[in-house]
Amino acid sequence: MKLDTTGLEMAAPLWGSHSELVDGFSAAPSFELPITTDFDGFQKEAVQMVKPAKGTTTLAFIFKEGVMVAADSRASMGGYISSQSVKKIIEINPYMLGTMAGGAADCQFWHRNLGIKCRLHELANKRRISVTGASKLLANILYSYRGMGLSVGTMIAGWDETGPGLYYVDSEGGRLKGMRFSVGSGSPYAYGVLDNGYRYDMSVEEAAELARRAIYHATFRDGASGGVASVYYVGPNGWKKLSGDDVGELHYKYYPVMPSMVEQAMVEVAGA
Amino acid sequence: MPKQQANWSPYDNNGGSCVAIAGADYCVIAADTRMSTGYNILTRDYSKICKLADKCVMASSGFQADVKALQKHLAARHLIYQHQHNKQMSCPAMAQLLSNTLYYKRFFPYYSFNVLGGLDNEGKGCVFTYDAVGSYEKVGYSSQGSGSTLIMPFLDNQLKSPSPLLLPVQDAVTPLAEAEAVDLVKTVFASASERDIYTGDKLEIVVINADGIRREYMDLRKD
């Protein structure tokens, strides 16, 4: 019996011909490569020149009721804030979410590509793809582009037949299954708050508040994170956006300005 | 033989700035017409704005050779779309096409910083802003190019639109009237020309509304 090895084929044919853009999506899109003696040096220069937007805080955790996913919305290019309203939580399909950290274009493109592959899987197999399967598809693609300068640090969160699922996938080719992750320049701060307040049996409101606080604290201390803290919940019926709050306003909500107590009021003195 | 560094770069920066503002039933796209290289001005009369579809216009700054190649590529794809679907591409559809086109050259990027402006299927103004490799988002206003760091804070101050990520959802388009938006654009470029050496000469403004596309010019500082 001949084994089906199509899944093992290289997703990115390095020197293959430039495929038609309107072609099928079964193979990963092939990319033109510059003809240069020093590919790495060229890529370093190109990255310096285009300076992809990065710097972020994203987090996700599994708890009793499902998966909670949260992220900030700032994109920075070097020291310049290029946008305060980037969508870092990408809706792959109605029951799966992906988070964006690293190169914005890389994350947007490959998450959309993953959504297409998931849909093709559904049509071919008459059932939804599992979170395990989806994360594996993405990880295999990123692994095949390993070393070429993609910058992707993403979490795939979803609810499938086995219950809630959460995987961390990055452009080095790593793929980890876990209960709690935070990715990005603000992640150390988010982990501090998240790890401290986490319990498996929280209600949806408590978990949402924990996620919101963790993002807020990360944006407070990390210059590359800010904007709007979005919180999504993934449950048995799919994902639902729970809140989107400006972190500046969250600050004054958590730490309201108290009018200071006046001990002795100054009295006007008439004349000298 | 010791490792040699390349003494030729395929890229150059021709400078310039572009701006786009979305309104309730209009969209304003503007760019200066100066094309430079290093400290030299190549020409004072180069248009950075290109009409991609009936209700969809793109302004790009950066390396104009790459911009020209990108415009030709998109025009060709639009023609194919028209043959296949018997209609013009909508602005959101063109926005996704531009993003994919940019990303397909992820490892040899188009050095082009784009803003796309137009009307969506309901006639409401929409602006999309891009980085060089295709990441994009729909915004109420945007600026790109050498003067963008000067222009953006001013637009933030005048037009600060609520983030589309806030819940409950708030509208991103500006409540300004069309004439006021055009006036704002003129003011913004006049200021940018004062402090950015690559921005100046002439300002080209394109306004898209239900009646069609209108073009306007204004002189800027030539120094």
Element (H, E) at B187: helix B178-195
Interchain contact B153–A (C-beta under 8 A) = no
Interchain contact B111–A (C-beta under 8 A) = yes
B164 pLDDT tier (thresholds 50, 70, 90): confident
Residue B56's closest CA among B129, B118, B114, B125? B118
Q: Is the pLDDT of residue B40 over 90?
A: yes
**Crossing angle, helix B64-85 and helix B91-103, to 10 degrees?**
130
How high is the pLDDT of residue A4? Answer: 61
How high is the pLDDT of residue B46? Answer: 96
CB neighbourhood size of B104 (10 A): 21
Inter-chain contact B99–A80, Cβ cutoff 8 Å? no
How high is the pLDDT of residue A17? Answer: 43
Inter-chain contact B6–A42, Cβ cutoff 8 Å? yes
CA closest to A104 among chain B residues: B135
Residue B29's closest CA among B11, B10, B51? B51
Inter-chain contact B135–A104, Cβ cutoff 8 Å? yes
**Pairing status of strand A175-177 against strand B141-145:** unpaired
Catalytic positions of A, please? 56
In order along its 272 residues, chain A shows pLDDT tens digits of 566 665 555 545 444 444 444 344 555 677 888 887 778 777 777 766 555 545 889 999 999 999 999 999 998 887 888 889 899 999 988 999 999 898 889 999 999 999 999 999 999 999 999 999 999 999 999 999 998 989 999 999 999 999 999 999 999 889 999 999 999 999 999 999 999 999 999 999 999 999 999 999 999 999 999 999 999 999 999 999 999 999 999 999 999 988 877 777 777 777 75
Rounded to the nearest 5°, which phi and psi values hold at A264? -140, 115
Percentage of residues of chain B with pLDDT beyond 90? 88
Which residues does A contribute to its contact with B (CB < 8 Å)? 21, 29, 31-34, 36, 38, 41-43, 45-46, 49-50, 52-53, 73, 77, 80, 82-87, 103-109, 148-150, 227-228, 230, 241-246
How high is the pLDDT of residue A22? Answer: 37
Q: Which tokens go with A251?
A: 């600050």
**Crossing angle, helix A247-254 and helix A204-221, to 10 degrees?**
110
Q: Is the pLDDT of residue B94 over 70?
A: yes
Q: Residue B70 to residues A176, A216, B104, B105: CA-CA distances in angstroms?
A: 39, 40, 12, 11
How far apart, in whole angstroms, are the C-alpha atoms of residue B221 and residue B189?
10
Whole-complex ipTM: 0.91
Shortest CA gap B46–chain A (Å): 23
How far apart, in whole angstroms, are the C-alpha atoms of residue A256 and residue A64?
32
Percentage of residues of chain B with pLDDT beyond 70? 100
Residues B3-37 have pLDDT tens digits of: 777 788 899 999 999 999 999 999 999 999 999 99
Q: Which tokens go with A232?
A: 């999504």
Element (H, E) at B49: strand B49-53
Interchain contact B165–A (C-beta under 8 A) = yes
Inter-chain contact A108–B105, Cβ cutoff 8 Å? no
**Pairing status of strand A58-63 against strand A180-183:** antiparallel
How far apart, in whole angstroms, are the C-alpha atoms of residue B175 and residue B154?
17
